[in-house]
Each structure stands twice: as C-alpha cells, then as structure tokens.
Structure 1
Amino acid sequence: MNWTRGKIIGRGSTATVSAATLQESGETIAVKSADFHRSEFLQREAKILSSLNSPHVIGYRGYQITKESFNNYNGEATTYNLLMEYAPYGSLADVASKNGGSIDETRVVKYTRQILLGLEYVHNSMGIAHCDIKGSNVLVGENGEAKIADFGCAKRIEPEITEPVRGTPAFMAPEVARGERQGKESDIWAVGCTVIEMVTGSTPWSGADSNDPVSVLYRVGYLGESPELPCSLTEQAKDFLGKCLKKDAKERWTASQLLNHPFLITKPDNEPELVTGLVTNSPTSVTDQMLWRSVEEDRPSWWECHEDERIGVLSWTGQFVVESTWDTDGADWITVRTE
C-alpha cells in the first residue's frame, strides 16, 4: 500500500497523527506514527482495532513499518504506522466548538445512540472494554455518524486478569478512580459523562477541579460524588444519565438496555447541518498520550505504587499539540513508502 504523508495534525508524547493520501485511490486517511522502539501501545491498539468491524467504530486500514526522517529525528528512524479511516468532521469536541460550544439535543440523542451501538458491539460481540470513552475519542465520519476511536487504553474483558487502570480522570467511574477494576460498566459511566460534555461544551467537573485529576478522582472514588447534571436537560435525559451514573457498577444499565431508553427512542434523526471544512485535529485523542498511558510508558503504574507515590504520578501529565493548518495542494507532502 503506497501512501503520502501530509502535515502533522496531532501530537502526543510518543505518537503523532498525520493526514495522508492513498496513492492508488486518492482516499484521505489518518496515520498514527511512533518510533518503533516506543510503539508498544500503538501496536496494541492496532491489534485490537484490526479485530473490529462496525460502522460505529473508526475503520482500520492496516499498519506499516517505514524508514524515514520523522518527528524531528536527526536521520532515518524505524517508524511504526497505524493506518485508519479519516473523520472529516473531527471529534465530538470539534463539532461542539464549531457549533457554538455545545451540541443541540437532537444530535446529542443521535450521537449517544451511535456510541452505544458501538459499545454494544465492542462489549457483547468482541469482549472488549474501551476504557477511555469521551468526546475527543468519538469521531464524526463522512456521513455525520459517530464512530468510537482511540483503542489505546482498551482491554479484553477478563475479570481474572488484573491490569492497571487507564483513561482520563474526569470520565472515570468510581471503581476505576479507586483502582479496583475497569470494564464495560466503566464505559457506561463515561457515556454519561460524554453526554454532559456534549450538552455543556465542557468536560465533567469543569470548575475549580477541572485541571486537578487527583481532586477529581478523590471526589468520584471516595466522596461518592457524581458530575452535576445540566439544568437544561429534560426529565428523560436526566433519567437516562441516572442509569449511566449509578455509583454501584452492577446497577448501571448496559449498552443494550440504554438503547431502549425513552431518551434515545423519542427524538427524530433529522438534525441541523454540520459545519463543514477540514478539521485539523482529527483524530484527536488518538494521539493524546494522556495521563494514564504516559504513566504506564514512562513511570511505574500508580496501581502498583504506594498511595503517596500515586499522588505524585497523578500530578504528572503530557502535552498535546495541534497544528492549525496544512497544505492541501501537496507542496509539503512527502512520499514515505513505495513498492
């Protein structure tokens, strides 16, 4: 498969996303790349993504290992590349930003239904928990459909195997915040948080604690608090969120049950037209080597640390940089692989 890399559209601590074009078809794809010796998580994501086939999950296009001068490396480096479907409208966070800071209720219902259809498939048919559902990890495809992306934190649902928890603190369920377990029930809590994010245009806990993951985890895991529900929500929407945000994981509704909730079956599917135009941070969190993944790569897992050490680890996070434009005429593109 021959493809041409465009400018970088997203960067994490160990991986970078570029827009690219398949030479044979002209199709635009997204390529997530990392130096081979630091690509363990990227290879894990590729393995999981390659096993999935759903219209509600971002498409897998393959992987390639290349030799190239890349990512400010002096000389040629061996690079692992994960090739994926390109989402022209970016993430749900991008959609909210382009439409006044939040998403209208009709589209919230549509996107939520599609996220749950993706999770129903991932949970029930594939035995996988995503472990990092949030607005920036749900992309909007060519036809305006929501697609779950970034499976870098995903894990097989195997209760007998204990793994460190992963994900984004503001979207973590109580049992995850306490470091007890992480599974499909935790994804449902994150769906509730994502609905709040779509409605308000900001992440849950967006206040004094929004930039303090330790405080958020303490409030969720040990004080028993839940994200505040927007006052603008209908009673049906509040009831739906109540089913997602049960503190006891066993009491949360499943994806299949939520798909039959009145909140998702009483609204029409016609929504306002999406704002078009190239979105330069799609996929977004596909490279957002956020707190937990960075911790696992570069530091001891907080799961295995003493409590005081966990606080130190929790206070450390990477950065995410997005370039604002790229040359669609191809002047800045380079060929990275030929037969």
Structure 2
Amino acid sequence: MRWTRGHVLGRGSSATVSAATSNTGELFAVKTATLSHSECLQREQQFLSILKSPFIVSYKGCDITKEKKKIMYNLFMQYMPGGTIVDAINGQLNEAQISHYTRQIIQGLVYIHSNNIVHCDIKGANILVNENGVKLADFGCAKWVNEHVPVRGTPMFMAPEVARGEEQGFPADIWALGCTVIEMVTGCSPWLNMTDPVSVLYKIGFSGESPEIPSGFSSQAKDFINKCLIRDPKARWGATELLNHPFIGQLECDIDRDLWAGSPTGILDQYMWNSIGESQSVGSDLIQPMCSSFSLRQRIEQLEGNSEMANWKCEMEEEINWMTIRSNGSGGVVEDD
C-alpha cells in the first residue's frame, strides 16, 4: 500500500501520531517511531492485528519506510476524530456521558479479557473518541494474562499489587478503570498533588489508601468506583460483573455530538486535508516487518528506601511528555507544552 502522511496529531518522546491517506483515499492514523525504538509499537501491532471488536480501535496494517535517512516503523490504525478522552473532558462531561463511555470501556475490557489479554495501561489518554463513543487504544504495554514480563504502564493508574511488583492481571485493568472514571469526572490525575512516580507507587502499594472519589457524584457512581478500587485484587469486581452495575447497567443517554467534533483533533481535521498534497508521500516500498515480540527489560526496582526511579516499561515517560498538536484557527498548528 502506498500512503501519504498528513499533519501531526500528537507527539511523544519516541513516537509520533499523524493523519494519513492511502492511495485509494482511505483516511487513517499512523503511529511512527524509528525502527530501533519501535519495540512497543511492534508489540502493539501483534495485539491489534488479532483483536476485532467495535470497542477496540481497528488495525489497518504496518510497514517499514526510509524517511530522511532514518528507518521508520509505521503502525496504521483507525482514525478517531475526537482525539482522546482527555481531549474530550475539558470539564464538560456529565454523569450520563461518563456512564455511557464507561460502559463502552468495560465492553472493550470484557472482550480482551475473554481473549486472555491484559491491557496494562488503561487511562484517559489511551481511550479514543469518535461519533459513536469510545474505543480502547494503545496496546504497547499489553500482555497475555499468564505471560511473565516486567511490570508496565503508568504509575498513577497502577493497582496496589502492580505497584508492589506482585502481579498484573485482569484486576489491574479494573483498578485503572476506576482511576479513569475519576479522571473523567475531575479532568485531573486520580492522585492529586503527587508528581514523583516513586512516591506515587509507594503510596499506592503500601499506604492502604485509594484515590479520593469526587464529591457531587451519584451514590451509584461512587459505588461503581468503589467496586473498581477494592485493594484486594481477588475481591475486586471483574469486567463482566461491572457490566451489570446500576451505574452503567441499562442506561440510555444521548451523547452530545459536539463534544467530540469540537475537540482539538476534530478542529484540526477541518483543514488537514486541504494541504495534504504538500505532505510527503512515503509509500511502503520496503519489506513488511515480521513484527516479532520483544523481551522488555524494564522492571520495578525496590520501592522502599530507593530514591532512584525504576526504569519503566513502554510509554510511561512518553505519556508524561506527550504533546497534542492543535489548530491555531488560521491553518497552522501549535504545540501544547
């Protein structure tokens, strides 16, 4: 397949997400990293290529190209014009919308868990939005449930058992879901006023505390979050159980279509394709990659008495530094710091 790269949608420390079109005119997103730093992208490709669900961002393929004298790995995915849940929040989500989105996230979790896959990095930044709702994305930290690999993910959303380096199974995704619901309500981190990852991990793993549930939420919503944030992973509710919780059970709600259409990436989409002819046509003239699995070395180091941050797996630091590329309303783009 030959394809043309459009404007940048987001940029991290090692990967860039751009809009793209194929030679047949299909619109999609491409996530790109240099081949030497593409371990997580190749792992993500392995999982996305076998997952088929309306609640998972669709896989479109992958290739390797040479651009500006660099060998690049490209992962093609469904284009989601609403950006991420973080883009959509902006203090505007009401409880009905949060309930609707949460139900779709859980349906995605039910699907991947039934296929013995743990996402390992559920959070607002990894939930993408379109006109129909939300889909799970970013499987670069995912693992098979019985796969023995280093702990991975984002510290603020890690479950207590993960912070202690004990296990990272299906219950860890549920804890992260509870944190994500809090994020949707507040627009903030589930652990306020904490920025040091080691301190966060110590607090999560050893303090016995859980993230504070926002006031003003309904009793059903608070109970739902409490079921997600049970510290004992064996007692924590599973995704299938949560589907029957009153907070999201059979609720029908009308989602404001302007919520996603007016998000930064939605605005960017309006002018993007007018100038795509000026973008570089990169094609896929090089050999298709095998996309084999990598053994990822990072692990949790000792938390107690250790002032040195663990060398975290995958995109923890990348997510901290992630920038969204937005329209400035005059045909140009600006970068959010």
Query: TM (normalized to structure 1)?
Result: 0.81
Per the alignment, residue 23 of structure 1 pairs with: 23
Instruction: Give the whole-Å Cα distance in 2 for the aligned partners of 1:281 and 1:244.
Output: 31
**Cα displacement string for residues 54-92 of structure 1 (whole angstroms, at most 9, x for unaligned residues):** 0000000000111122xxxxxx22211000001001111
**Alignment of 1:147 onto 2:146:** no
Matched-pair contact (CA < 8 Å) for 2:60–2:77: yes
Distance change in 2, residues 1:45/1:83 (3 Å)? same
Distance change in 2, residues 1:79/1:121 (3 Å)? same
Matched-pair contact (CA < 8 Å) for 1:302–1:310: no
Matched-pair contact (CA < 8 Å) for 1:213–1:314: no
Instruction: Give the whole-Å Cα distance in 1 for the aligned partners of 2:222 and 2:78.
Output: 34
Deviation at 1:117, TM superposition (A): 0.4
Instruction: Give the whole-Å Cα distance in 2 for the aligned partners of 1:6 and 1:93.
Output: 23
Distance change in 2, residues 1:308/1:11 (3 Å)? farther
Instruction: Give the whole-Å Cα distance in 2 for the aligned partners of 1:240 and 1:228.
Output: 13
Instruction: Give the whole-Å Cα distance in 1 for the aligned partners of 2:2 and 2:330.
Output: 18
Deviation at 1:320, TM superposition (A): 2.0
Per the alignment, residue 285 of structure 1 pairs with: none
**Cα displacement string for residues 277-302 of structure 1 (whole angstroms, at most 9, x for unaligned residues):** 463399xxxxxxxxxxxxx97xx624
Matched-pair contact (CA < 8 Å) for 1:36–1:79: yes
Deviation at 1:103, TM superposition (A): 1.1
**Cα displacement string for residues 197-247 of structure 1 (whole angstroms, at most 9, x for unaligned residues):** 1111112012x21x2222221111000110000111111111111111110
Pairs within 5 Å for 1:98-117: 101-117=91-107
In structure 2, what residue type is equivalent to 1:63?
Answer: C
Matched residue SS, 1:52: coil
In structure 2, what residue type is equivalent to 1:259?
Answer: L
**Alignment of 1:212 onto 2:202:** no
Pairs within 5 Å for 1:111-190: 111-124=101-114, 126-141=115-130, 143-158=131-146, 161-190=147-176
Matched residue SS, 1:131: coil
Per the alignment, residue 290 of structure 2 pairs with: none
Per the alignment, residue 215 of structure 2 pairs with: 231
Matched-pair contact (CA < 8 Å) for 2:87–2:263: no
RMSD of Structure 2 on Structure 1 (CA): 2.6
In structure 2, what residue type is equivalent to 1:274?
Answer: D
- 1:279 aligns with one of 252, 258, 264: 264
Per the alignment, residue 336 of structure 1 pairs with: none
Instruction: Give the whole-Å Cα distance in 2 for the aligned partners of 1:234 and 1:306.
Output: 36
Deviation at 1:251, TM superposition (A): 0.5
Distance change in 2, residues 1:220/1:307 (3 Å)? closer
In structure 2, what residue type is equivalent to 1:232?
Answer: G
Distance change in 2, residues 1:43/1:32 (3 Å)? same
Distance change in 2, residues 1:271/1:321 (3 Å)? closer
Distance change in 2, residues 1:58/1:310 (3 Å)? farther
Matched-pair contact (CA < 8 Å) for 2:122–2:180: yes
**Alignment of 1:67 onto 2:69:** no
Instruction: Give the whole-Å Cα distance in 1 for the aligned partners of 2:227 and 2:262.
Output: 36
In structure 1, what residue type is equivalent to 2:95?
Answer: E
- 1:94 aligns with one of 81, 87, 94: 87
- 2:324 aligns with one of 311, 322, 325: 322
Deviation at 1:310, TM superposition (A): 6.8
**Alignment of 1:256 onto 2:246:** no
Q: 5+ unaligned residues in a row in structure 1: which ranges?
A: 70-75, 283-295, 331-339
**Cα displacement string for residues 5-55 of structure 1 (whole angstroms, at most 9, x for unaligned residues):** 01222222221111111220x232110111112212211110111010000
Per the alignment, residue 203 of structure 1 pairs with: 189
Matched-pair contact (CA < 8 Å) for 2:82–2:266: no
| Alignment length (residue pairs) | 299
**Alignment of 1:301 onto 2:298:** yes
In structure 1, what residue type is equivalent to 2:4?
Answer: T
Distance change in 2, residues 1:222/1:307 (3 Å)? closer
Instruction: Give the whole-Å Cα distance in 1 for the aligned partners of 2:74 and 2:330.
Output: 21
Percent identity over the alignment?
Answer: 49
